[in-house]
Amino acid sequence: MPQGVVTKIAWGSCANENKPQPILNTIVSKYPDIFIYWGDNVYCDTQYMDEMRNEYSKLSCKNEFQNLISHIPVLAT
């Protein structure tokens, strides 16, 4: 989590795990104190955890997502 006072918050939603997400690199370049997924961070309407795990795995393998989480604390709703 960020240390001190949080003054710059970035947020996003409606991320499709099956498509590139270059916006995440742009977010990193703006140096926010924290990033919040304010809605869909993957699209997965299911009750089957294996399917959900698979969709989150797609997101976590993306270079732009790895860049985001290595530079900025991330929260998701």
Q: Who contacts 46 (Cβ-Cβ below 8 Å, separation ≥6)? A: 52
Q: Per residue of the chain (77 residues), what is the pLDDT tens digit?
A: 667 899 999 999 998 999 999 999 999 999 999 999 998 888 888 999 999 999 999 999 999 999 999 999 999 98
Strand blocks (E) in 8-77: 9-12, 34-37, 74-76
Question: What confidence score (pLDDT) does residue 65 get?
Answer: 96
32: nearest Cα among 65, 59, 2: 2
The predicted structure's pLDDT at residue 40: 83
> Where along the chain do its domains lie?
9-76
